[in-house]
Amino acid sequence: MATFLLHRLALALPTLFFVSVLVFGLQQLLPGDAALALAGEERDPAVVAFLRHKYHLDEPLPVRYVLWLKGVLAGDLGESIRIKRPVRDLILEKLPVTAELAVLAILIALSIGLPMGILAAVKNDSAVDYAATMTALWGRSIPNFWLGILLILLFSVEWGLLPASGFVSPAESLSRNLATLIMPAFVLGNALAAVLMRHTRSAMLEVLSADYVRTARAKGLSEAQVVLHHALRNALVPVITLGALEFGELLSGAVLTEQVFTIPGFGKLIVDAVFNRDYAVVQGVVLCTALAFILLNLVADFAYALVNPRLRG
């Protein structure tokens, strides 16, 4: 197992290096003089000169990369040009909002995707299976920003049951917090539920035809015991690993969902930064999401190695 884990870690290091090159390289895409672009519409010469000095824009590219990387490794992601605050502080401030939204979305996805996946596998090739497959197809195809708009039309405009936008901190009022997050969490969870359902269904179909499941049935165990105690436990292992890969999709979805429901999270931060030409914030958010993705996948690899006897060595 140690060899496997060391191998995964060794692979993560060059990936991290290329992520840093990619994120740094984004700034090179700015057309023309980067200092002018970063200075915004006013283009005050003093600001341009300050930015040129601050970002070492008169230095050669490799030197600028090394200087930028040194800052990042020291926790300095730059400063927001608009808000005049460190990017790191902005990200840390917005992160809990998106994290809460993501956790709620995962819970919704689990409560829809898992039972549907199990049912579809147990009742393979039946009406239930086709219904579940169609639901998964719907989840894959519906644009989540449109689903959000439809829910607002129905639950806020038409029935007046839920607030259409905004965010209330759980510390302020838990019930109002949940009322503001339930629709966006459902929108975000809907697409994840479709993926989860497909993974669970195929993993369960494979496990249900395994010898040990047949043995469990032959011992006279009830179908519920066979499915829930024997099959599901083993089917969930690849589902959890694949679920970690969906983290990126969840964050992509959060960008749009937060925009539709005006939730001041991580996603809204990057969109606002794009329109304010606050490029340091855009770079900071991209870097943090990539780091989180790599870290989460390493954790998933570790978890997989722990539960998979073939890797215990």
Please report, as ranges, the residues that interact with other proteins according to CB under 8 A.
Answer: 11, 14-19, 21-22, 26-27, 29-31, 137-138, 140-143, 145-146, 149-150, 152-153, 157, 164, 247-249, 251-253, 255-256, 259-260, 270-271, 273-275, 279, 282-283, 285-286, 289-290, 293-294
Question: Which phi and psi (to 5°) does residue 286 adopt?
Answer: -60, -45
CB count within 10 Å of CB 257 equals 28
Q: How far is the CB of 272 from other proteins (least distance, A)?
A: 11
CA–CA gap between residue 160 and residue 213 (Å, rounded): 50
- The residues facing 289 across adjacent strands are none
Rg, Å, the chain Cα set: 24
- Least distance from other proteins to the Cβ atom of residue 219, Å: 32
> Within 13 Å of residue 127, how many CA atoms lie on the same side as its CB?
0
Q: Are 212 and 241 in contact (CB under 8 A)?
A: no
Least separation, in Å, of the C-beta of 228 and other proteins?
29
Q: Which of 255, 258, 106, 250 is nearest to 180 (CA)?
A: 258
Q: 306, 5 in Cβ contact below 8 A?
A: no
Cβ of residue 206: shortest distance to other proteins, in angstroms?
Answer: 14
Q: How far apart are CA 308 and CA 1, in angstroms?
A: 10
290's tokens? 């990539």
Which of 244, 288, 295, 237 lies closest to 9, judged by CA?
Answer: 295
Q: 230 vs 268, which CB is nearer to other proteins?
A: 268
CB of 222 to other proteins, least distance (A): 33
The least CB distance from residue 250 to other proteins, in Å, is: 8
Toward other proteins, which CB reaches closer, 221 or 242?
Answer: 242
- Indicate the residue among 157 and 161 with the shorter CB distance to other proteins: 157
Q: In whole angstroms, what is the distance from residue 256 CA to residue 265 CA?
A: 11
Q: Which is nearer to other proteins, 47 or 286 (CB)?
A: 286
**201 or 230: whose CB is closer to other proteins?**
201
CA distance 47 to 56: 14
- Between 160 and 309, whose beta carbon lies closer to other proteins? 160
Q: Which is nearer to other proteins, 167 or 227 (CB)?
A: 167
SS3 content of the chain, % helix, strand, coil (to 5): 80, 0, 20
Coil, strand or helix: which one is 245? helix
Rounded to a whole number of angstroms, the minimum distance from the CB of residue 9 to other proteins is: 13
